[in-house]
Amino acid sequence: MNQPVTQPMTEPHSAHERCDILIIGAGPAGMAAALAAAPSGASITIVDDNPLPGGQIWRDGPQVVLPALAQQNRAALTRHTNVRLLTGTRVVGLGDPQPGDKASALLLEDADRGWTQHSQRIVLCTGARELLLPFPGWTLPGVTGAGALQALIKAGLDVRGQRIVIAGTGPLLLAAAATATQAGATVVRVAEQAPWRALAGFAAQLPRWPTKAAQALTLLHPRLRASTHVLEVQGTTQVQTVRLRKSQRAEETLACDRVACGFGLVPNTHLGQMLGCDLGGPLSGGQGLAVDTQMHTSVPGVFAAGECTGFGGSERALVQGTMAGHAAAGQVPHAQALRPQLARWEGFAQVLQASFPLNEALKTLAQPDTLVCRCEDVPYAALTERQGWIDAKLHTRCGMGACQGRICGAATQHLFGWTPSPPRHLLAPARIGTLAACNTAPTDDPFTPLS
């Protein structure tokens, strides 16, 4: 590990906590927001449900060497005494707001306790998750997301000597392949569903962003094949083989120990939607949180930055996070000054998203008995007659399980065109003790609003 674990400066001690700016997510956007807002002197709390800060791209772990910028940002955060970082802490729902609060109160929970966090402003840096599409065998142990494989390796998963197939779409496949190879695995295939034409078009644009072009060169993999997608994973108790469709109706079956599939990203908007924020971020097919030129969402006091507004990589997230931090601290000119820098990375995001449209054939992978909702074991056949998301929930329990439709909601949106309904209380499974604590009155009010 590169740095000692950043510990909270003060442990929460009551059922109610207050801060000026509450940042949800400690990835590049959340860290940047905190660092931009910190010099204002505002009291800042960052929460993240992972054990360590960094988000997905700067995920730390037993054998990770973090990029220099990630290390610098982490070190910088610890130098600000007005910034409190709470890892292993998730937002589970809405709390009761206090009179005078501009932003909603959020109900938080860590491994030991739950409490209501009050704040003047909220900055949502909730990132994105992978689009995971159902295919026969996708519930077998050993099948993961592509980013998930990276995350698990960084968290200590030993893949030495294992044969791994990575399939899906986008640059994340190559990044996952590089991580797996460095960890001692043999990546026997990187199956990119987009055609070579699309990949060449993407590569041709990269010189506009030299750091990205250089990065791409280091990631190229000899086992990369275009116009290739997963058909089925076979095995009894774990992955044994994967069947891939190659271009021109040809197939190949590869023996392997793991299959990692990612079909692009889905912005994490559940919390924003629960707060009432509009969707419509332009770089997300309308799926991301909508923000104005100061990263303000449609809800007063709530800002958003990074992949939850649409995806475009860590550089865009860093700029947006910085802008959101400045704006949340009331320093609008500082935020506005970064518009040209943001435009540059939004251009990259546009090229990225235009280059990897999903093949229609990916909608036909699931067979009648293929589970679509993994929490409630709802097969594809049970969903084909349903009229929409709510109808499916009511009749099949699709989306009613522990993940609250985060996996199958995005999948059915892609497969059937259903629009998952905005989440309601609660956002995530919560302990009874957390819910019991959230209604008690605050014991003191040391809070000084931002001027």
CA distances from 118 to 43, 121, 148, 409 (A): 12, 9, 32, 30
What is the C-alpha separation between 59 and 27, in angstroms, rounded? 8
Q: What sign does the dihedral 423-427-429-434 (CA atoms) show?
A: negative
Coil vs helix vs strand at 122 = strand
What is the C-alpha separation between 173 and 443, in angstroms, rounded? 50
- Give the chain's end-to-end CA distance (angstroms, integer): 40
Strand 378-379 relative to strand 143-144: parallel, antiparallel, unpaired? unpaired
> Which among 298, 446, 444, 377 is positioned nearest to 134, based on CA atoms?
377
What is the C-alpha separation between 82 and 43, in angstroms, rounded? 5
CA distances from 95 to 161, 253, 301, 345, 441 (A): 48, 52, 16, 36, 11
Q: Which two tokens stand for residue 75?
A: 């070190």
> Which among 270, 282, 320, 274 is positioned nearest to 30, based on CA atoms?
320
Q: Which residues bind another protein (CB under 8 A)?
A: 1, 49-51, 56, 61-62, 88, 90, 111, 129-130, 132, 139, 141-145, 147-152, 155-158, 237-238, 268, 374-377, 401-403, 406-407, 429, 431
- C-beta neighbour count of 12 within 10 angstroms: 19
Residues 6+ apart with CB under 8 A from 107: 91, 92, 93, 94, 95, 114, 115, 116, 117, 426, 430, 434, 435, 438
